Structure formats: C-alpha cells, structure tokens
Structure 1
Amino acid sequence: MSSSAHTAPIASLAITWLAPEYEARAAELASRLGYACVEHGDPAVQMLLQVGVDGLSLQATGPDAPGAVRVDFVEGALAHRRLFGGGAGQMVARAVGVRGGIRPSLLDATAGLGRDAFVLAGLGCDVIMLERQPVIAALLADGLERAQRSGGKVAEITSRMRLIQADAIQTMHEWEGPVPQVIHLDPMFPHRDKSALVKKEMRLFRPLAGDDTDAPALLEAALQLASHRVAVKRARKAPAIEGQRPSAQLTGQSSRYDIYGKRRLES
C-alpha cells in the first residue's frame, strides 16, 4: 500500500473510543502515534481511528463518508477468500512463484491491510510485511493480534506473518538477516480508474498514504534485495514502473502483475 514519503501525523485525524472502557487504550495509542485523543463527534476532525470491542477501525466523518475500515482475518471477505478464493491458482500466488512444493520466502514491502500477505501465508509462505504509514500499520497489527487470539487455522496462518512498521526503501537498502527470495510490491498508483476511486479504503487511505511517487526507487531497492524475483501489482492498463522492464506479465480483469525474474525458484 505505502512504501515511503510522508509519515508525519495527519492534522485532521484523531483517536477516539467507542465505549468508556476503551478510553485509556485510545489515549495510549494517541500518545504513541502522535495524534490528539478526542471524544466521538468532534466536528473539527475529518478522520477517526476508533478503539472498540472489535479492535481498531478507521472512520471518515463527512456526510458522504464510507463505512469504517478494519482488518479482520477471522471473518468476512478474507475468510471467504481463504476458503474459496482459488488457492495456488490465484494471480498473486502465481506472480510470486507458488507452485507444486515451492513456497518462497516473501517480503511484502507495501503491506497495506495485509490481504495479499494473508493469502500467501495461507498457502504456506513465510511473509515479512513492511508498512510505512503508522495508522495503517496500527490497523494491521490490531488485526494480527485478534487473529492470534482467535486460535485455530487463522492463528496458524498469521503466525507466518510478521509486521514491521518502517519505510520500505530505507529498510530494503539496510536489510539485515536472511534475504527474501521474492518481494511483492503494490504501490499506490496516482491515477486509478473511477471504479477503484470509490472504494472506501482508497478514499480513506489516500489522505494518509498519498501516492507512491517514489515507486521507481521502491522497485530499484526491491530488485537489489530479492534473490529470485520481484512481483509488482498494477492497475491493468497502468504503465510499468519506470526503470528496468519486467521479464513477464500476468493480467487479470482489473489488475496485472509485472514480474522481474532474477533466478528460477526451485523446491
């Protein structure tokens, strides 16, 4: 979702609580993220990170605001995708090289809400996730914690997902530890078509994360680090990221993957 650029607090965002018992946690979170902690309904705030019984959620406050966004690996769309999404036949799985017994070690350098990472962890990959935007990272961390508490299969899957809140480009340049075989990138593209613009997550996240205008530097850092390949998710008709040309492409109905191969993945 987001790789680098501005991470300073957004002036029109604040932390709030949805029930009295969550006020202390909201205050702690506000202190940690550098935002004000306000009561629900403050008219000066355009976006609220809410603490409640269902964990953290992000809610815009305007009259035509979309519904709240939260990370839920246990129920809803991600649970349905885990059960019925197509397994290793999904485009993201094919793009990173999942096939047969091959389960590459992965770095998702633009983690966002962790959807692609969850799919890949569900197929057996170990995934390190980078997310630079602190509010988005907080939503993802909260979803991972609730998934672990839920136990069962979802807890097993999320145990293969590790989140680091950090600038992706800097982190990849300074990488320490085992080198990821495959790096997955999904930069926020500046010019989405209208159908994507109305998605509530894009409407909420664009003021937070902005556009990834540094996508060429992100791709360059990924190509330097990955041992085997880099897979870049793009809108179907979007141009490739400036720089090295992809060695292959996978195209779906609304998106595609540009694949930059370095070495053949083997089991």
Structure 2
Amino acid sequence: MTDQSVAIRIQALAPAFAEAAQAWASRLALPLDGEAEFALQVGDHGLQMVDLGPQAPGPVRVDFVEGAVAHRRQFGGGSGQMIAKAVGIQPGVRPTVLDATAGLGRDAFVLASLGCEMKLIERQPIIAALLEDGLGRALRDAEVAPIAARMTLHCGNAIELMAAWQGEAPQVIYLDPMFPHRDKSALVKKEMRLFRPLVGDDLDAPALLAAALALASHRVVVKRPRKAPIIEGAKPSHALEGKSSRYDVYAKKALKG
C-alpha cells in the first residue's frame, strides 16, 4: 500500500490537463499543490511519476507502444524467451495467466504479446494508475491494441483477491515480488529510486506464494534475482536460470494443448 510518509502531489503539465489532474487527485486522494518529494504528472505523454529531488532521474511512465517494451515485442525472441518457457508456452499452448504482482506491466505485456490472456493485480494505487494509463494509451494504438485487449487490470491486495477468486482459476500464476535488487542498469535504478519508497520490499511473499499455489490450476512461476534464495514455503519443482534472473517453477499439473 502507499507509504503515507512519502509526500506526493498531482501536477498538470499544462492548463489543458488541469481537469484530468483534478480527477486523479480526487481518485487517489492526493493534493494538487504543496511540498512534495514526488509528483504524479499529467501531460501529453499521459501519466508519469517523477522524483522532485536534486539530481533526480527522469520521469517513469508505462509505454507499451514505443521504447524498450516495443523493441522487446518486435525483437525479443518470441516464445523462446525464458519467461515464455517458465509459464509453459509451447506449440498450441497459451495458458491463461494471472500476474499477481503486475508493477509496470512489462512481463504481462510480453506474455500477452505471445497470445496469453492476462489478468493483472497491482496493489500500490499509484503504480496501478500508471499501468491503467499505459494500457489505455495502448488500446488507442492500432498495432498494440489487440495485445492490450488481452490484459485486464485489477487494483487491490493480491492475497485477498486470490483467496476470494470467482470463476475459473488461472492456469498459471506469475509472481515477481519486490526484492533488494542488485541490478546496475540505469532503468532499474531509476524505477527503484521512485518506487521503493512507495512499496518497500514484499515481506508477505510467503503468503503470496501460498495463495497462488492454492488457486493456480497448473503452475506457479516466481521470478527472482538469480542468486536470491527461494521464497519460504513450498519448494519449486525446477528452475530456469538466466544471467541476472531466475524463474522458480512450482508445477501442479501438465499444460496441454
């Protein structure tokens, strides 16, 4: 949930966006002015989060149409990517997936671009707002809209939402709990600087894993830094390891076409 000790304000980047800024301020219960460490800005590029401190990195927004996400969609290796193998994508098999720690939605977008129907849960309201805004812009782009249409976002506590799940269970549940990252890439550092004060580390990861294992019909996949310990609780059946990340796979039942 939002750390109330972190001061955030909503800011319209031009008069034309004042009404939209007011709507977000009301919805997120955030002020439009006053002293703040961070600003959630509304402008030409949609919604973006920016650190207002000295020597701060640039703004972070969710963009599924251009930039790194678009490049990965076009040149990222398709169903040969490790995340695709981890969730069980294979010829004739595109499992339904719940990403219960959606964040900025990049991994969910990769899986949606490969044909998976995705449900996303994000519990931090500001991150969920950025993701909602990015999905809305993606739905207005002719090329990306069919992918975004496979992504349904819910804002709330994933443990509670999974426990009260209605309807058919997702075949695969994907988890990427916040962890003390050691990644040195500028992008990760920029996003961690912005979001770690809001979300901290996911200390309830064991409960999240237990809820996922209780709900998923076929498997649970947990993304971890390569050298990080497994989440406390059940042991994974196997793992896929890359240069910086690892996917712990908890298999319950074989995925078949």
8 A contact 2:41–2:50 mirrored in 1: yes
Q: Please name the residue that 2:97 is paired with.
A: 106
In 2: Cα distance, 1:200 partner to 1:106 partner: 28
Q: Please name the residue that 2:247 is paired with.
A: 257
1:77 aligns with 2:72: no
User: What is the TM-score of this pair, normalised by structure 1?
Assistant: 0.93
Quote the offset at 1:91 in angstroms.
1.0
8 A contact 1:114–1:140 mirrored in 2: yes
Within the candidate set 117, 121, 126, 1:126 is matched to: 117
Quote the offset at 1:194 in angstroms.
5.7
Within the candidate set 42, 46, 50, 1:55 is matched to: 46
1:34 aligns with 2:23: no
1:167 maps to a residue whose letter is N
2:99 maps to a residue whose letter is D
8 A contact 1:9–1:35 mirrored in 2: no
Quote the offset at 1:11 in angstroms.
4.0
8 A contact 2:3–2:198 mirrored in 1: no
Q: Please name the residue that 2:168 is paired with.
A: 178
User: What is the TM-score of this pair, normalised by structure 2?
Assistant: 0.97
In 1: Cα distance, 2:136 partner to 2:109 partner: 14
- SS of equivalent residue, structure 2 residue 108: helix
Write the mapping of 1:215-234 to structure 2, written as runs, cut at 5 A: 215-234=205-224
In 1: Cα distance, 2:182 partner to 2:114 partner: 31
8 A contact 2:101–2:176 mirrored in 1: yes
Distance 1:50 1:166, change over 3 A: same
8 A contact 2:104–2:130 mirrored in 1: yes
Quote the offset at 1:101 in angstroms.
1.0
Q: Please name the residue that 2:133 is paired with.
A: 142
Write the mapping of 1:231-242 to structure 2, written as runs, cut at 5 A: 231-242=221-232
Q: Percent identity?
A: 59
8 A contact 1:9–1:34 mirrored in 2: no
In 1: Cα distance, 2:6 partner to 2:190 partner: 20
1:30 maps to a residue whose letter is A
In 2: Cα distance, 1:134 partner to 1:114 partner: 14
Structure 1, unmatched stretches of 5+, are 1-5
Aligned residues between the structures: 256
Deviation string 1:176-209 (CA, Å, 9 cap, x unpaired) is 11100000000001x3226269611111110111
1:46 aligns with 2:40: no
In 1: Cα distance, 2:3 partner to 2:20 partner: 21
In 1: Cα distance, 2:17 partner to 2:159 partner: 35
- SS of equivalent residue, structure 1 residue 37: coil
- SS of equivalent residue, structure 1 residue 257: strand
Q: Which structure has more RCO (C-alpha within 8 Å, separation ≥ 6)?
A: 1
Structure 2, unmatched stretches of 5+, are none
Distance 1:83 1:74, change over 3 A: same
- SS of equivalent residue, structure 1 residue 36: coil
Quote the offset at 1:27 in angstroms.
1.1
